[in-house]
Amino acid sequence: CGKSTVSLGIMRDLSNIGKIVGGKIKFQGKDMGELSDEELRSIRGNKIAMIYQEPMASLNPAMKVGQQLMEVPLIHDKVSKEEAYKRAIEMVRSVKLPDPERMMRSYPHQLSGGQQQRIVIAMALLSKPALLLLDEPTTALDVTVEAGIVDLVKGLGEKFGTSMIFVSHNLGLILETCDRITVMYSGEAVETGKIKDVFDRMRHPYTQGLFRSIPLPGADKNSRPLISIPGQLPLPHERPKGCNFGPRCHHFVEGVCNAAEIPMIEVAGHEGHFSRCVRFNEIDWEALPPGAKKVNERVVPGAPVLKIEDLRKYYRVGGN
């Protein structure tokens, strides 16, 4: 719906397939749209860094990890090779990778997916950026590795004083890591606010639809049935007049929701909480949509079949 495109737009890295046609992107008081190519090069990878969802695609398979890490301080800080190596080793330790010297000598294919992602994070943080963009940073990782990466990023953000923008479909990850959230649909923001405000008092039907379509362990299916969002996302050239979500919305009213373009409207009593819905004050947010099935069955998670604690596995690794 445009989340990754927004991240690339912040960096002015849309290549030839897209362009910014309106609005402003301001970073540290400067309009990114007015900066020269030379000024942008000094910002990208230095003051603003980005972590992509596929770590292997971000690493050069023909270069050792150490060379790729050292490039950051060599190019942006103009330090010596010795100093660049020292900084790279320190950052590899910071991302909690074992045997940093071996990691530096390794090629990307010799590392696991989780190790590759930690190297990409190290590379992004080497210049101590003011802003870090994370585009689905855990998508390609399994759940156990994902949890470690999330904790790592949170800790490093606090350590280096880095602001972060997460692009993610994982609401659990967002809840654990973020202070504010912006929900996007069909290329535009439909709700934004503090995490607690949006999660506890959502005021846009699309946001509500996202939460209602997620199964929760131990949830009472009678009071909280699983409800999918009907219909399909519209193509850019097929977006309806007024509310983009209108054709899929249970609360749509003809002549109201499609009368004109809808701006972001502030939710009374919640500073910084905005919704792109003209009817959010009229909607009964507790009511189930028409046709929602009710059942009396309740599934309670059973006792664990197998529980393992403090298990460690060691691999014999040959020299590089």
Q: Which two tokens stand for residue 185?
A: 């649909």
| pLDDT score, position 287 | 84
Return the half-sphere exposure (C-beta side, CA atoms, 13 A cut-off) of residue 262.
27
* Other beta carbons less than 10 A from residue 215's beta carbon: 9
Quick one: pLDDT at residue 228? Answer: 87
pLDDT at 117: 86
pLDDT in tens, 60-84: 999 999 999 999 999 888 899 999 9
C-alpha to C-alpha distance for 10 and 31, rounded to whole angstroms: 10
Name all domains of the chain by residue range, CATH numbers in brackets: 3-178 (3.40.50.300), 183-275 (no CATH)
pLDDT of 38 > 70? The answer is: yes
User: 3-state secondary structure string, 39-79?
Assistant: HHHHHECCCEEEECCCHHHHCCCCCCHHHHHHHHHHHHCCC
Taking only the tens place, the pLDDT of each residue in 228-247 is: 899 998 888 889 999 999 99
Q: Which of 225, 55, 83 is nearest to 149 (CA)?
A: 55
Give the 3-state secondary structure percentages of the chain, helix then strand then coil, rounded to 5: 35, 10, 50
- Start-end of H helices in 213-317: none
Whether the per-residue pLDDT at 258 is higher than 60: the answer is: yes
Per DSSP, the three-state class of 258 is coil
Q: pLDDT-derived band of residue 207, with 50, 70 and 90 as boundaries?
A: very high
pLDDT in tens, 158-202: 888 889 999 988 888 888 889 999 999 998 999 999 999 999 999
User: Which H or E element spans position 190?
Assistant: strand 188-194
What is the predicted pLDDT for the residue at 291?
67
Is 46:162 a contact under the CB 8 Å cutoff? no
Listed in sequence order, the residues at least 6 apart from 58 whose beta carbon sits closer than 8 Å to its beta carbon are: 51, 52, 120, 123
